Structure formats: structure tokens, C-alpha cells
Chain A
Amino acid sequence: MGTVETGWEQGDAGEWQDAGVTRRQSSRRAAVEGPRTYVEPRARKGPNEKLADFLGWFSVGLGVSQIIMPRVVSKICGIDDSDGNTVLMRALGMRELTSGVGILTQKHPTNWVWSRVAGDVMDLALLGKVASNDENHRGRTTLATAAVLGVLALDVLSAQQLAQSPNTAVNPDVDEEGIHVRKTITVNKSPEEVYSFWHDFENLPRFMRHLESVRMTSEGRSHWVAKAPAGKSVEWDAVTTRDIPNELIAWRSEGDADIYNEGEVRFQAAPRGDATEIHVDLTYTPPFGVAGRVGAKMAKLFRKEPGQEVQDDLFALKQVLEVGEIVLSDATVRKGMPHPAQPDR
């Protein structure tokens, strides 16, 4: 299990900072806890992807230059601009462009960065051949070789970084450690009301539709039963790890849980009206090990991402708190699609 970022850290700025988004803090929160800095936990590109992106754009730029003005690029590298060399330069340009587009567009660009490494090796071989020809400009070729060596080092570094860091924007939701979800909703009720509803864990199955029941077993401890495929159920015990009235509840499964999970929910006064922003952070491992993770990936391909279930649950919570129950339509009383919007038999 790697670090589970809560997304919240103490900071010294009196504002919320969300990677470029700043906004004033509500006075209510300031009075209770003092300023915080918000750090986007996932989904945004980390330094590893930023390097890969830089290399991707570099490839695109170089590739386009090689294709459009092969003679100029040849001259810079100290190569004579014969027709044969121009054709070769254009071919190399196509290769660069392909690598670049691959890096920038693919969700898992690691192999595309390795394709750049292979390209660098090819370029070095060609430059070696150029340097051995007296008709070429040796000084320029040496500079070009140095440049390729520098880029080669960056390429290798980037490829290794990407290979070692699955838990980033490259692969934001599902990884070896489990599924990470962060979702929010605004509910037209006060933080006090929302907190006290959530704090009674036995209310949770009213809006978390995969739950059968949650029972308080002792102070700060609860027993959870969730529905599983084929009419089965999974159970675990959880402990409340933090509890700040009207503000925050955090919990974690205990012992040999069928589903390892931990989560945190924050309740924050919305800027307008007597409303509450609910922020949920969850990490869980789906049951059935690898199969569960594959299932989660498959679910993501069709309609529901792991986070969508949580978003749906938050919507259900909003409905329960605002109108008293989950709103049904003729189509939604039945599971799955497609089926007609008409009363059920």
C-alpha cells in the first residue's frame, strides 16, 4: 500500500489552492480550523508525465521541422544537403512525429518514450557515419551528437519514471493498491444536518446502494455488510479514525476485511445559502483480487467508472436529504439498460 493522499495539508495561505484555482475560504471554516491548502491528490499530471509531455512536444517539433525543412536541419547537423540525405531526413522526421503523437495521445506512453530511446540510438549511429565523412562539417556534427546524447539521457529517465509510477495521471483510478475516488456534491442543507445524518452510520445504506446494512458495534466501531454478485454478500468491520463534529468523518476497515477500504468525508459550508459541500475521498480494493480490478477496468470501459458509483451515491444522499428519498422513474426501477420507460409489470 503506497501513501494514500488525503488531499488536504496544512498551509500558510489563507485560501484554497487547487493547482491554479484559488478561492476564498468560507468564514465558517476559517473560524473552526484555520487556513488550509488544498492539494489535488490525483488526476492532475505529475512531474513524470510532464517530462514525457515535454519529450512528446519535442518530438513533434523536431519531426515537423525535419519534414518541412530537411535541408535546414541537415545543415544544422553538419550534413551535406544532397537529395538522398533530404529523403532520409524526412523519414526520420516521420519517425519523430509518430513517437511524439504516441507520447502525447496514449494513456500509457511508456512504450512510446522507449521508442524515442530507440530513435536516439539510430540517430547516434547515423551521426557517427556522418562524422566519418570528410565532406561534412565535423564541428556541427559533434554538437548535434552531444544534443542527441543529452536527449537520450532524458528519454531513458522519463521511460523509467513512467514505468515505476503507475499511481498518477497516467492511470488515475485503478492501480495495484486499489481504486481511488474523490467526488463532491452540494446539498441544500446545513453542515450540521448533513454531518449528523452521515454520522449515524446506520443511515448509510439509505444512499450507498451497494450496502445492505451498517451496524454500530461499539464506540467508534461498526460492522458493514455489502451486496456482492450472485446474491452473496461481503462483510467487514470498520473503525472511525477521525471525527470532527459538523466537519469531518474518516474511517478505515479493520483486520481481515473482504474489501479493504478507507475513506474520509468533509462537510463544508457552501459560499451561498445554508448549503453544504460534501467532499468524499475513498480508497478501496475490490473483492476477488485481480479479477475485481479487471472488473473495475471493464466497468470503466462501459459507462460506469469506479467513481461514478460514488457520485451516484452522493446524488442519492442529496435526494434523501432534500426530498426525503431517492427519486425513481419508470426506467430506473429496473436495473440496467436498455428497457422502455413504462410502468413495471
Chain B
Amino acid sequence: MKATCWMGKRKVEVVDVPDPKILNQQDAIVKISSTAICGSDLHLYNGFVPTMERGDILGHEFMGEVVEVGRGVKKVKVGDRVVVPFPIACGVCAACKAELYSVCENSNPNKWMAEKMWGHSPAGIFGYSHLTGGFAGGQAEFARVPFADVGPVKIENGFTDEQVLFLSDIFPTGYMGAEMCDIKQGDTIAVWGCGPVGQFAIASAFLLGAERVIAIDRFPYRLEMARDKAGAETINYEQVDSVIETLNDMTAGRGPDACIDAVGMEGHAPGIKYLYDRTKQMGRMETDRPIALREAIMSCRNGGTVSVIGVYGGLIDKFPIGALMNRSLQLKTGQCHVQRYTKKLLGLIEEGKIDPSFVITHRMRLSDAPHGYDMFVNKQDNCEKIVLKA
């Protein structure tokens, strides 16, 4: 089959690899109809996530048709059309029972590696380095899906791929980011990053009852999408002196009730702030650039919540713990527990409350994936979200 493989920093190739096989009894093999490039794939692409190996198959947002099941699979059948959540979860461990699927205790065979890096191990993830299991990803023609009865969501109501594909990651991730803000009537929510996850965080904040959502980015086309499609007010951080002061102005000095960091480890800022973090990162003195996170913490109103859904990998510098502690802020975070949200969010799509396809700007063949990565990382042609058709 054809698969998108990581061949080194800033280098992906679509190459012929063996077809996946059933390895465990609860596996299914899915023939992929649609898959997408995620912003977090760009962290792998840019070489910021350790333990990538040359030839690793990328991709953790995919859907398709079940073509084979292991003998332990009971619910999912050959011929079913399914969307596959990006965290691999067993459904029976203590974490899964508590609906903390992205920290499943059994699904990361390279648990020891993650324990060395992070103390304890999260769940396995498709196509996301050996630290999270070394599972082949879904930017390919076929994928092996472990625990087929736990993760995959059956799609039966004739939706197009584009309407439901993002149940695999970015819609639930944005939704969880907003849910962690514990939104109450009249709340103002600020969202850093107007990439696809940021767009869904904005949309979800409104779905959960926010009065206002203020979105922060530097690309006019992304801010325009946040305004026109998701309904946010926007700040272009390159055009204001201080995001914090601007937010204070917009909220009469209170600050947003909750702040969502949908940027993660590769944040940008104008001038010296960016240079400082980029230099430290290049010197391996920090692994991540927490520019958005610092700003989110400093901006948040006293007693508010900072919700982190942008991906971080390792260690950061100049973390404003004083602001967090002295101002009674709450920090909530996590890789999305996708399996917890799929049914509910599919319901919202069915009710017509949201059509997740609004973020798609580009559609390509799987074989064009290298071009897609290049375009997405350089924000060319107003690129927001790329869907690959196998």
C-alpha cells in the first residue's frame, strides 16, 4: 500500500510499504477513505518530537471502511464505515473506566520510554513517534486499528467524510479545551491560535454558552475564519503592542474568564520574545516555546481557568508560576479523551448545530501529502486544513 512516511526533519515521502496485518485479537484493518494532516503532525515534521524513526508512517486523523477484524472484535463488522479516534484505548483499565482514554494504561507498548521522559506513560497514539507506541499512522491506504470495539465510531447516517472526519481529533480536542473552561453564562473566553483546533475551541465555547470569544493569531486569513465562520472577535498580535493590555481593554480590566492555549510548543511572538525562546530551543535548553501559554496565564482573570490543548513535549523556561499561584488560576490540560466525546459530538453534527467541514481549505490526493505538509507548515495559499483522499 501507499503510505506517508517521515523520512527526517522537514521531509516526508509517500512510499510503498507492506499492508497492515491483524496483530492482536481486538484489531481491525480499515481501508482509509479520508485522512487529514494535523497541526501536531507539523511538530513531528519540524523535528520537535523525539523518537521518530526514518520510515514511520504518519497520520492520526482518519476514517474508512472496515475490511478485516480480529476474532476478539464483537461490535464492529466488516463493511462498517468508521471514524477512528487518535488515542488508542483498551476500554477496560482504570484510566479508560474513568473515561481518561488518552492515558490508557495498556495501549502504549513503549511505556518504558514515555516513563523516562514524562514520569508515567500516556496512551498509544497512531503515527505519533515511538514514545507513544510506534503505531503506524493513517495517512495511508490502510491502517491497523487496535481495540476496534472501543475507539472507532460507526457512521450510519449518510454524512460525507468531510462532515465527520474531524471527530477523530480536532473537533473533540477543541471541544474538550472549551469544556475544561467550565463556561458559565456571560463568560468571555480567549483562544490563542486560530488553526483548526483553535477554530473548534471557539465554536465549542459558543456551543457551551460563552458570551464572547476572543481569538488571537497573526495570519489574517485565520483570523477571518475565526470571525466569519466561528463567530469570534479577533486580535492580530502582530498589530497590537500588548495582547494582555488589549484583552484588558476588551474586558474592562478583568481579563478573560478562561484562556485556551491552542498553540503549543511552537509558539511565535514578534521580536525579542520569540528570539529568546527560539535560541533556547535550538540550544536544547528548552524543548518547547511556551509563548502562548505564558500570555494566556498572564491574561486570565483572577480565579480563572487556563486550558491547554496545544501540544507540549518536554520542558519550558520562564513559566509564570507566580501569576498562576498568586492569582488563584487553574491550569487544566490533556491530550483529548476523544472516545468520551464522539457520540455527543456526532449528535451535534446530526442536529445541525455544527458542520465541522468549515475548516477545510485544501483537498488533495494521498500522493500529494509531501506538498501538503510543505504548504501547511509555511501557511501558503491560506492553508488551514488539508484533507487527503486515499
Contact = CB atoms under 8 A, between A and B. Distances in A.
B21 interface: yes
Contact of B112 (A275, A311, A345): A311
A255 interface: no
B94 A275 contact: yes
Interface string A196-228: 000000000000000000000000000000000
Contacts of B253: none
Interface of chain A, main secondary structure: loop
Which of B20, B97, B109: most chain A CB closer than 10 A?
Answer: B109
Interface in A291-345: 308, 311-312, 315, 318-319, 322-333, 337-345
A327 B90 contact: yes
Interface string B29-60: 00000000000000000000000011111000
A341 B130 contact: yes
Given A329-B135, A340-B5, A308 B92 contact: no
Contacts of A318: 93, 105-106
A197 B111 CA distance: 23
A17 interface: no
Contact of B111 (A315, A328, A331, A340): A315
Contacts of B93: 188, 318, 322-323
Contacts of B135: 329-331, 341
B124 A329 contact: yes
Contact of A332 (B18, B134, B147): B134
Given A324-B72, A337-B53, A342-B17, A331 B133 contact: yes
B87 interface: no
A322 B25 contact: no
| A312, A326, A338, most chain B CB atoms within 10 A | A338
Contacts of B5: 340, 342
Interface in A145-203: 186, 188
Looking at chain B's contact residues, the main secondary structure is loop
B18 A342 contact: yes
Contacts of B124: 327, 329
A84 interface: no
Contacts of A229: none
Interface in A264-313: 273, 275, 308, 311-312
Contacts of A345: 18
Nearest to A303: B112
B144 interface: yes
B55 A188 contact: no
Nearest to A323: B90
Contacts of A328: 23-24, 109
A332 B53 CA distance: 13
B109 A341 contact: no
A318 B90 CA distance: 12
Given A324-B25, A328-B24, A341 B18 contact: no
Contacts of B130: 331, 337, 341
B310 interface: no
A340 B54 contact: yes
Contacts, number: 111
Interface string B109-153: 111100000000000100100100111110000001011000000
A325 B92 contact: no
B188 interface: no
A319 to B, nearest CB: 5
Contacts of A323: 26, 90, 92-93, 106, 147
Contact of B144 (A315, A322, A331, A343): A343
Contact of A343 (B21, B105, B111): B21
A342 B109 contact: no
Contacts of B133: 329, 331-332, 341
Contacts of A327: 24, 90, 106-107, 109, 124, 146
Nearest to A275: B94
Which of A322, A330, A331 gathers the greatest number of chain B CB atoms within 10 Å? A330
Contacts of B97: 188
B19 interface: yes
For A326, A337, A340, the residue with the greatest tally of chain B CB atoms inside 10 Å of its CB is A340
B90 A322 contact: yes
Contacts of A343: 17-21, 136, 144
A329 B17 contact: no
Given A330-B134, A341-B135, 5 more contacts: A322-B105, A329-B124, A329-B134, A339-B53, A339-B55
**Nearest 4 A/B pairs, CB to CB:** A331-B134, A340-B55, A341-B134, A332-B109
22 contacts: A186-B94, A188-B92, A188-B93, A273-B94, A322-B93, A327-B106, A327-B146, A328-B23, A328-B24, A329-B23, A329-B109, A329-B136, A330-B135, A331-B109, A332-B109, A332-B110, A332-B133, A339-B55, A340-B57, A341-B135, A343-B19, A344-B18
Interface of B: 3, 5, 17-21, 23-26, 53-57, 72, 90, 92-94, 97, 105-107, 109-112, 124, 127, 130, 133-137, 144, 146-147
